[in-house]
Amino acid sequence: TAGSAGMGFGPIIMNASFNSFRHNVYRDAMIISLMDTFTSLLAGFTIFSILGNLAFQLDVDVSHVAKTGPGLAFISYPMAVSQFTFFPQLFSVL
C-alpha cells in the first residue's frame, strides 16, 4: 500500500501543516494507513471477482481474461459494467 499512499503524499503534508503542535499525528497516520489498506483490498476483491465472473461466463481460464497492468481495472471493470441489465450507467458512475 506504500505506492497508493504515495499518490496523496502532497495533500497529506499540506493538511498536516494546518494541525496544531500538539495534534496526535500517530492517530492520523494509523487512520490513513487503515483506510488505504481497506481501499486496496476492496479494489482487489472487486477486480478479481469481476475477472472470475467473466471467465465463468466465457467458459475460459482466468489467465485468458486477465490482462496485466492497468488492463485489470480499466478494461475488465467497464466490460463487466456494460453487461449489467439493471442501470449500467448508474454503476459506471458509482
Contact 80, 47 (CB under 8 A): no
- CA distances in angstroms from 31 to 21, 44, 74, 84, listed in the order given: 19, 20, 28, 35
- 55-78 pLDDT, tens per residue? 888 898 888 877 677 767 777 778
pLDDT of residue 7: 65
pLDDT of residue 81: 80
Residue 4, annotated as binding a ligand = yes
pLDDT of residue 85: 80
Alpha helices of the chain — where are they, by DSSP H?
A: 2-6, 9-16, 25-58, 62-65, 71-74, 76-82, 88-93
For the cut 60, the answer to whether the pLDDT of residue 39 exceeds it is yes
pLDDT of residue 3: 59
Is the whole-model pTM more than 0.85? no
